Amino acid sequence: MGDTLDNDPADRPGEDGAGYRLRAAREARKLGLDKVARELHLSVGTVGALERDDYSGLPPPTFVRGYLRSYARLLDLPEQEIVDAYNRVAGEGPAPEPEPVVHAQSEVRPVAWFGPLALVLVGIAGIWGYQYWHSSQTSGPAPSPAGLAKPVPAEPAGTGATVADREEAPSPSGMPPPASSPAAVEALVVPVVAPSPSAQPSPEPLPPEVDTLTLSFSGESWASVIDAEGKRLLFQTLAKGQVRTVQGKAPFRVTLGRPADTRLDYNGKAYDHGYTSNRVSVRFSVPRSTGQ
């Protein structure tokens, strides 16, 4: 059975709409709705809704503009005039300027390391704390730090006591030796021990591997990119000369309005999607599975 022309005048849209111009051009070429639907890879109902300027049951405006551009190319009509007519009827206004895709960059902060110098400072702080405590227990003033470096005076002749005897002998009051004595200094200095290799902190885990897809446009086109986890990474109309890079988990589901005007780079290498015509929009995966 041949294609029907669907020439019922009751369904004709207003002359100022995109649908009126498309239907008039189709009928002038004596093409049926089903023939056009096959060429555009759309349903007959979708093509009929476009010609009636009935967009209530169609996808978002970005897809509708893509359908209209493909339909206009099929009938050799000026694409932008058809899209502008749709914008006036649908009340959309001019197509919005695409917003740049901003990728958040992870901030790397340096890890604080406490070396041997920190342990030495802790030891010095302990000495000063002990001096303060000792001075509060006695009536005399606390010895100055310079006193720690003074040599121990020699014992008068005839006493028979050596420096070692004085360090080991307990004080008469039972208190610990003065903070200025070498024994006290040796008791308070914290030994500095280099950390063993096993004590080093384990390296931070590497971020999960992601795939990158770059789209470069030599003509105005709309594009949609969804990764394997179902995240929508791109969904907008791009102008000539614009470039968009998205990251996610492959394979990516890509939809292009003008595939011949769109170049792809997958993980830093050029990727040939295989489409050389802009007559219809296309959908495919990057990378393609063996079954595609």
Beta strand 221-226 pairing with 232-238:
antiparallel
What's residue 28's pLDDT?
Answer: 93
What's residue 273's pLDDT?
Answer: 86
pLDDT at 103 over 50: no
Q: How far apart are CA 247 and CA 99, in angstroms?
A: 17
* Mean pLDDT to the nearest integer, 181-204: 54
What's residue 97's pLDDT?
Answer: 45
| Nearest CA-CA partner of 236 in 123, 124, 101 | 101
What's residue 101's pLDDT?
Answer: 43
Give me the residue label for tokens 């730090």.
145
Percent of the chain clearing pLDDT 70 (strictly above): 58
Q: Summarize pLDDT for 135-182 with one digit per residue, the tens.
A: 666 545 545 544 444 554 554 454 444 444 444 445 445 555 554 555
Q: Where a domain ends, among 90, 116, 131? A: 90
Is 139 among the domain residues?
Answer: no
Is 251 among the domain residues?
Answer: yes
Q: How far apart are CA 14 and CA 53, in angstroms?
A: 8
Q: How far apart are CA 197 and CA 117, in angstroms?
A: 18
The parent domain of residue 24 ranges over: 9-90
Q: How far apart are CA 197 and CA 115, in angstroms?
A: 14
What's residue 67's pLDDT?
Answer: 94
**pLDDT tier at 113 (50, 70, 90 boundaries)?**
very low
Q: Where a domain ends, among 35, 62, 90? A: 90
Q: What integer best gives the mean pLDDT of the chain?
A: 74
Number of structural domains the chain divides into: 2
Is 52 among the domain residues?
Answer: yes
Is 21 among the domain residues?
Answer: yes
Is 160 among the domain residues?
Answer: no
CATH code of the domain containing 52: 1.10.260.40
Is 166 among the domain residues?
Answer: no
What pTM did the predictor assign? Answer: 0.35
Is 67 among the domain residues?
Answer: yes
pLDDT, greater one: 128 or 247: 247
DSSP-assigned letters across all residues of 165-227: HHHHSPPTTSPPPPTTSHHHHHHHSPPP-PPPGGGSPPPPPPPPP-EEEEEEESS-EEEEEE-
pLDDT, greater one: 240 or 202: 240
| Nearest CA-CA partner of 174 in 137, 132, 126 | 137
pLDDT at 57 over 50: yes
Strands (E), the chain: 211-217, 221-226, 232-238, 243-248, 252-256, 262-266, 269-271, 282-286
Is 202 among the domain residues?
Answer: no
Tell me, rounded to whole angstroms, the distance of Cα 88 from its chain centroid: 37
* Mean pLDDT to the nearest integer, 232-254: 92
pLDDT at 245 over 70: yes
Decide: 95 and 65 in contact? Cβ < 8 Å. yes
Q: Where a domain ends, among 39, 69, 90? A: 90
